[in-house]
Structure 1
Amino acid sequence: MSVPQVRRAVAALRGHAGRVNCVRWVRRRDGVALKVFSHRLLEFKLCEIFSCVQLVKSIPLKGHTEAVFAVDAVCQSDEPDFNVLIASAASDSTVRIWSRHGSEGNIFLMLGITYWLNKNDEFFIQFQKVLILPGHEDWIRGVEWAVCGEDLFLASCAQDCLIRIWKVCTKLKQLPETEDDSIKLKENIFTVKDADTSYAVSLESVLAGHENWVYAVHWQPSFSKDGSIQQPMRILSASMDKTVIIWEPDKESGVWLEQVRVGEVGGNTLGFFDCQFSPDGSMIIAHAFHGALHLWKQATINKKEWTPEVVISGHFNSVEDVKWDPEGEFVISVGFDQTTRLFAPWKRKEETEVTWHEIARPQVHGYDLRCLAMIGRFEFVSGADEKVLRVFRAPKNFIENFSNQSSDLPEGATVPALGLSNKAVFEGDMAVQPDEDEESFNTISNQYPEIYFQPLILTEPPPEDHLLQNTLWPEIQKLYGHGYEIFCVACNNSNTLLASACKASKKEHAAIILWSTSSWKKLQSLSFHNLTVTQLAFSPDDSFLLAVSRDRNWSLVVGSCEFKKFFTCCAYTDKNTAVHSRIIWSCDWTPDSKYFITGSRDKKVIIWGQCDLSVITEGNGLDSIKPCSTVLDAGDSVTAVGISRVLTPDGRYIVAVGLESGKIILYTWKQSGKEPTLADWTTGVEIDNSQSHALAVKRLCWRHHAGRAGHNDENSSKWLQLASCGADHCVKIFNVNRFAL
């Protein structure tokens, strides 16, 4: 099987509103994939079918009263109008069977797993418990059948760290009788009444090799040879001990042995939840506890050598903030999965397509991360559910890989065990081979290799194990001063000033703190709001700082040198002048610093300003800033807004609005006169459901320049790029044709 080198997401199947617990491919017996099944959590209690070809929702299967946690299916026919049998299991302590017959047939729930109906007749299926297979001493986490010739094999795995293989054969084919004084396997016999056939079940083998709970066990898929279906005697297992093992029986003795062991070294993960073979058994993919996919490929010559491969990666919890670097070559995002991730476009020499990949994981934290701000191209500050702001600077290894530059920087970073700070690693600290230094074991890197940095030379995007360990950025500063969890942070465009705010229920805690990026000292504390400041934004010319808050108001701060203070409040709304009636979640500036925009839970989007904001000074702007646009009703709670720094060809501002439903809508706006008119807003594009977020949009950020990152467009002025992040764990990059708006 030829596998394409470019691996990317080709579609998003939307429909579930809760966490998806399981997916299964349904294959015809000739190996053609027909459908993919998934099921959602708790309140919806649904199993849904998606067409593999059309990628559209087909049929929801309703019936379970609690969360569905397992589903499987078998195709009973190779005909185009396939018959499929589905089994689902849920927390309501029931297993339900579903069946479909023919293209015009309907799916009927087998009530109490006893019967189903079709158009012509009524069929009764009775399930009876015939046997219990004891042996495991803790929760059983996975079971899977395999057919080998005329025999059935059942593999099971459990939290007792063991894998058990059971053999099921007809009674006529049971093992030959042995002498009385010899050891023989105990057989459990059961009979199928209707078929009048007896079966013998015996324990084939017990596999002990994992050191922690075994969460999944799978047989290598069957393949066709000379027209016959054959099942390879090969098992794959995944464990919380951070390893995945391939097991095979020895050709001479028949004893099952460990053949290949792959997995993680280091990192802050807890192991693997699931694993799968590729159809031809040449690749292994595993799903880790921390949400990542790991992929290994078998070497062509040495079949026991497996190497990590590039795979799709990303956040595994809500993504709270995303920012472009000033040059527009990559984006950095933070989320509730406690990681900071850097994504960049990648174009292979032999490929024409540009794909985006995670190329660094600068921060792996112990708290949920909520916000970040870029301080120049290779430096950023992040805020988390702690009272501290942390500043990170790109290491030499990242800069050399990214831009072939070299400077007096650390090679990389490592995070100590149980630590929250990334420690810089310099060239002299890195591990050396024992034959180069007899005392090499005395170095930290050799005593604790599982947590230490090794430099990379990236010729392709890094695999997951390198992302976990070798792409951290050193932490250069901590900023203390807030009394509660950090909620938002912003940096001015000259990279000299930082503003931050934390969660607050009182005015004294809702203060905005200003920091110097040269000395990292606290410069000023500004108290205007009564509740949490939800977003901060400096104007492009650095003259103003805008803050929006849970108290439904915004405040505008202007720079002042006369009073030896950096900023002083010049305008704000209060209960008498406020237009928004709910939390203001987001704000942004127009590129000329003349206007700013606010978006609120009350579904309103408003652009504010006056003829010339440059005349605003301390105390004279309290009543001069008013709405410059009609109130835009977005139709849903507005959770994010962003204004492009590049205008449409006819000089209109391009505004992106993100909603709580996950939708993103592009508008254009231009002040048509002194008073707002209904014609000032124009709807440009509403991003299709298949491309938008499945849950609330958390942040929208436009690339500062025209053009597409990673492309050498002849007509670069045609394209803009918009980065978005959402509660659905996704970071998305949209290409926007500004001539089409």
Structure 2
Amino acid sequence: MSLESNSSVEVEVEVEVRVDTEFIGAGCNRIVNNVSWGACDLVSFGSQNAVAIFCPKSAQILTTLPGHKSIVNCTQWIPSTKDAFKVPQNEEHFIISGSADGVIIVWGMCFKKRKWRQVMEAPQPHMKGVTCIVGIMISQTIAIIASTSSDGTVFIWEMILPSSIGGDCKLSCLESLVVGSKPMVALSLAELPGNTGHMVLAMGGLDNKVHLYCGERTGKFIHACELKGHTDWIRSLDFSLPICTNGEKDSLLLVSSSQDRSIRIWKLAFHDSPANSEVPYRKGISLASYIEGPIFLAGCSSYQVSLESLLVGHEDWVYSVEWQPPLRASEENVWYQPQSILSASMDKTMMIWRPERTTGIWINAVTVGELSHCALGFYGSSWGPHGDSILAHGYGGSFHLWKNVGVDVQNWQPQIVPSGHFAAVTDVTWAKTGEYMLSVSHDQTTRIFSPWRNEVRFGDRNSWHEISRPQVHGHDINCVAVIKGKGNHRFVSGADEKVARVFEAPLSFLKTLNHAMPQQSNCLEDAQDMVQILGANMSALGLSQKPIYVQVTNEAREEKIHDVSDSLETIPDAVPIVLTEPPIEEQLAWHTLWPESHKLYGHGNELFSLCCDHEGKLVASSCKAQSAIIAEIWLWEVGSWKAVGRLQSHSLTVTQMEFSHDDKFLLSVSRDRQFSVFMIKRSVRYMFDRPILLLFGTTTEGIMTRLTVSIAGWVGGAGGGAGEGGNGRSKHSKVEEVGEVSYQLIARHEAHKRIIWTCSWNPYCHEFATGSRDKTVKIWAVQNGTSVKQLMILPQFKNSITALSWVGHSGSGNGGLLAIGMDDGLIELWRVSGGSAAPALRFHPFLCHVSTVHRLAWRRNNIEDGDGIMQLASCGADHSVRVFQVNISR
């Protein structure tokens, strides 16, 4: 792309800009039926309005699929793990997703190239949210799909798969069933054994019954019978593959789970009564008929349903049950389904149920789970395609994966999974030297994501993971600022509680960072020697986080470990640990907290924006406001954390602030459609608790001389000679560095017609950009430190501008790349230089967010020539944080 740079001499530079997704972090929607593990060994799940895909082997989210305009409630792979053996050569796999607005979308994935496409949208949407989607393959190119909704309907679909990769897919509605005022929330489909062409549909929901419908492949489903026994809502249903007796398929097993904490296994078997006889279930119900179970007709055959087993073991609602996928027998192309059921419950456990070999009684063979502060557990579970892995998703939007690593005996061990926020991510920033990325969210957590180099597990590359959860709070967190400059890693966060909180990295995190990034170990050793806090404990109310000191004895630590209780009344003490590989959810939630060092009181409303200067001396904060007094910007001195300034200019909420790169100016933008530029001056005075003492020494000739002691020497930076031990300090005199901050409003302009959401400084000069709801980006320049002039207006965009971030690179003159994020989730890069601007790159929608981009932040890079790789972090209302790798070449 040819871009012009207008300076004193007009130069045309050929610049190629490419972008790839480096990392995606996102949590799972907290909805039943949301997660599906496909035969292609990829997992699909809904993350806000997007369908996200992650690979269990790499523990990375591969992509997010935009298309839904509402929250994604459920996903389903076609073919599923149950049907994988029916289409072994299928090179394209499909996902069907349903959202809260009733829309159903079909997605396609080329298995070899891992390329995604939106195939089609269902021609007939539900009137309300889709709650469950199931599907089975009845041939290599035809699948039957069933979907249910809270509008009280169940749709039966026929899906004809394309004959070639990238071809058209046909989805037609065969039938619409109206189930009444109590909607169905669980479905399962199966082909009836021995009766080619007939299918059975099981559905359950709010009436506590399991309903069976029979029909043909072309539709015409009729109500066959209902199964009673559960005493609360039916939450999950799953048919097994047909069971063979004497070489013939003559029965099916149906497993159901309920909020009554129980699991029931039903058996559908051939009935010996003649096909033309009256169906017994239509007669009056007697004790004998109840024990035997109802009988129904399907074509020329009759089937009897009976209760096979009742499984009791969970202590809370059982949200999910699923049969283990079929496995290949020793003979070629012979498949069998193990008698094994996976269940997940809100009691924070998953169980594997199997019949005992001798008695045939179903027992709980395996139990795995998590220990957490949260009282709520798992919303669903899935088998891996090979039956050796099980996956659950929980209340905190998190995944929990276990794998059987045993050889002769079963040994289920937790595995690394991707993680992320489960609510809107409001702010993101980089560490002061770019080692990691810090994000905050309305899910009331602060999270740290970092590249982790592990050659054994991930090969010779960096794989991004969440390595710490420094703050778990009781209020929605709106903003964050990393303290730059020298010293330990620190950050300030602001939430709806009107108080800003300061956190400092504990020793356990610094050592973990050494393992994640060994190349940074030399830089971190000095900081470790000064830190005496190992970790932090969470308070009972989830607000303050108290430090755990290194001096705690090993005996006391062991006592705390054994005293951990999983009751709701107590919160076990954290056990800070040094991580040698990426952590799992339980470690993140408990053992990676940072201690809180200070609280900053002053604002009258919820905190909205924070920023820190580049020297790490000042922090600016703002809050939600509807008056000029409340809309003050507060300045805090780093270290003493005293309020050193209250800047008045705006009349409504200050939405974003940023210091210029030389820290001379503070820029703020507001809901009042104005921006303000303040000149910031910081002077230093040195206070002594007594007069400076004269020091005398003896020369080599024995002559007594008077030494002049510089202030720097007394403060501690002038080497030996001043004070004892040559460390530049005297035990007889105390020197205190006192900072004085002065500020002056040099410009205030009503710059846009709507709310100004965002701003960013040019890294090379005193130019800045503002972005607004009026869909425009304007470039301004500070002139002579006394006024501001508008330089240009970029062409109007299609959506509101919600995020800006300006970065420089060599060969760009005094300009660089301006990243622009919009309300629809899209991101563009513009080259801005010398009063001119030109588009450099528009990100592909599959790379971008699916809703509002809240913040953009470039990683600190030092690019010496015109070619280089930079990384851009983004966060948005779609619950995700992303890192893009931007390649610039000439």
Q: CA deviation at 1:479?
A: 1.1
> 1:204 is matched with which residue?
308
Do residues 146 (structure 1) and 240 (structure 2) align?
yes
Letter in 2 for 1:30: K
Q: CA deviation at 1:724?
A: 0.8
The answer to whether the 8 A contact 2:266-2:308 is kept is yes
Do residues 131 (structure 1) and 225 (structure 2) align?
yes
Q: How far apart in 1 are the matches of 2:591 and 2:169?
A: 54
> 2:732 is matched with which residue?
none
Q: CA deviation at 1:207?
A: 1.4
- Relative to structure 2, which stretch is displaced further, 396-405 or 691-700? 396-405
Aligned length: 694
Residues 470-485 of structure 1 correspond to what in structure 2 (within 5 A)? 470-485=591-606
Q: Secondary structure at the match of 1:12?
A: strand
The answer to whether the 8 A contact 1:244-1:262 is kept is yes
The answer to whether the 8 A contact 1:319-1:727 is kept is yes
Whichever of the two has the greater Rg, that structure is 2
Q: CA deviation at 1:448?
A: 9.5
Q: How far apart in 2 are the matches of 1:4 and 1:203?
A: 36
Per the alignment, do residues 689 and 269 of structure 1 end up closer, same or farther by CA in structure 2, a change over 3 Å counting?
Answer: farther
Q: How far apart in 1 are the matches of 2:868 and 2:887?
A: 6
Q: How far apart in 1 are the matches of 2:652 and 2:510?
A: 40
> 2:283 is matched with which residue?
none
Residues 449-468 of structure 1 correspond to what in structure 2 (within 5 A)? 451-468=572-589
> 1:221 is matched with which residue?
325
> 1:500 is matched with which residue?
621
> 1:424 is matched with which residue?
547
The answer to whether the 8 A contact 2:811-2:865 is kept is no
Q: How far apart in 2 are the matches of 1:471 and 1:645?
A: 35
Per the alignment, do residues 603 and 125 of structure 1 end up closer, same or farther by CA in structure 2, a change over 3 Å counting?
Answer: closer
The answer to whether the 8 A contact 1:648-1:739 is kept is no
Task: Report the structure, 1 or 2, having the larger strand content.
Answer: 2
TM-score where L is the length of structure 1? 0.88
Q: CA deviation at 1:342?
A: 0.5
Q: CA deviation at 1:123?
A: 8.3
Q: How far apart in 2 are the matches of 1:534 and 1:324?
A: 19
Q: Secondary structure at the match of 1:136?
A: coil
Residues 181-260 of structure 1 correspond to what in structure 2 (within 5 A)? 186-195=291-300, 197-225=301-329, 226=331, 227-260=333-366
Letter in 1 for 2:350: V
Listed one character per residue, the Cα deviations across residues 548-586 of structure 1 (whole Å, up to 9, x for unaligned) are 000000111112469997243323334xxx231000000
Q: Secondary structure at the match of 2:400?
A: strand
Do residues 683 (structure 1) and 839 (structure 2) align?
yes
Q: How far apart in 1 are the matches of 2:69 and 2:631?
A: 34
Which of 476, 479, 494 is equivalent to 1:368? 476
Q: How far apart in 2 are the matches of 1:184 and 1:425?
A: 65
The answer to whether the 8 A contact 1:440-1:446 is kept is no
Residues 254-403 of structure 1 correspond to what in structure 2 (within 5 A)? 254-268=360-374, 270-301=376-407, 303-350=409-456, 351-376=459-484, 378-403=489-514
Which of 603, 608, 613 is equivalent to 2:780? 608
Per the alignment, do residues 7 and 108 of structure 1 end up closer, same or farther by CA in structure 2, a change over 3 Å counting?
Answer: same
> 1:112 is matched with which residue?
176
Q: CA deviation at 1:426?
A: 2.3
Q: Secondary structure at the match of 1:132?
A: strand
Residues 578-589 of structure 1 correspond to what in structure 2 (within 5 A)? 578-589=750-761
Per the alignment, do residues 483 and 38 of structure 1 end up closer, same or farther by CA in structure 2, a change over 3 Å counting?
Answer: farther
Which of 68, 83, 86 is equivalent to 2:130? 68
Letter in 1 for 2:172: F
Q: CA deviation at 1:429?
A: 4.3
Q: Secondary structure at the match of 1:483?
A: coil
Q: How far apart in 2 are the matches of 1:442 and 1:41?
A: 44
Which structure 2 segments of 5+ residues have no match? Answer: 1-39, 42-54, 163-167, 179-215, 274-287, 515-520, 685-738
Q: CA deviation at 1:444?
A: 10
Per the alignment, do residues 242 and 12 of structure 1 end up closer, same or farther by CA in structure 2, a change over 3 Å counting?
Answer: same
Letter in 2 for 1:107: L
The answer to whether the 8 A contact 1:416-1:451 is kept is no
Q: How far apart in 1 are the matches of 2:561 and 2:829?
A: 59
Which structure 1 segments of 5+ residues have no match? Answer: 115-121, 174-182, 673-679, 708-713
Per the alignment, do residues 50 and 431 of structure 1 end up closer, same or farther by CA in structure 2, a change over 3 Å counting?
Answer: farther
Aligned-CA RMSD value: 3.0
Q: Secondary structure at the match of 2:512?
A: helix
Residues 24-173 of structure 1 correspond to what in structure 2 (within 5 A)? 24-27=76-79, 28=83, 29-30=85-86, 32=88, 34-43=92-101, 45-53=102-110, 54-61=115-122, 62-78=124-140, 82-101=141-160, 103=162, 106-113=170-177, 125-147=219-241, 148-149=243-244, 150=249, 151-172=251-272
Q: CA deviation at 1:42?
A: 3.6
Q: Secondary structure at the match of 1:352?
A: coil
Q: CA deviation at 1:235?
A: 0.9
Q: Secondary structure at the match of 1:541?
A: coil
- Relative to structure 2, which stretch is displaced further, 141-150 or 506-515? 141-150
Listed one character per residue, the Cα deviations across residues 155-197 of structure 1 (whole Å, up to 9, x for unaligned) are 1111111111111111249xxxxxxxxx9991213231522x2
Q: How far apart in 2 are the matches of 1:441 and 1:68?
A: 45
> 1:545 is matched with which residue?
666
Q: Secondary structure at the match of 1:398?
A: helix
TM-score where L is the length of structure 2? 0.74
Listed one character per residue, the Cα deviations across residues 414-438 of structure 1 (whole Å, up to 9, x for unaligned) are 213333122212245477499x87x
Q: How far apart in 1 are the matches of 2:565 and 2:258?
A: 37
Do residues 664 (structure 1) and 827 (structure 2) align?
yes
The answer to whether the 8 A contact 2:225-2:296 is kept is no
Q: Secondary structure at the match of 1:268?
A: coil
The answer to whether the 8 A contact 2:120-2:169 is kept is no
Which of 526, 533, 536 is equivalent to 2:647? 526
Per the alignment, do residues 47 and 568 of structure 1 end up closer, same or farther by CA in structure 2, a change over 3 Å counting?
Answer: same
Q: How far apart in 2 are the matches of 1:47 and 1:329?
A: 41
Letter in 1 for 2:879: H
> 1:119 is matched with which residue?
none
Listed one character per residue, the Cα deviations across residues 464-514 of structure 1 (whole Å, up to 9, x for unaligned) are 111111111111111111111110011111111111000011111111111
Letter in 2 for 1:231: Q
- Relative to structure 2, which stretch is displaced further, 723-732 or 293-302? 293-302
Q: Secondary structure at the match of 1:300?
A: coil
Q: CA deviation at 1:312?
A: 1.1
The answer to whether the 8 A contact 1:706-1:717 is kept is no
> 2:72 is matched with which residue?
20
Letter in 2 for 1:76: I
Letter in 2 for 1:532: T
> 2:746 is matched with which residue?
571
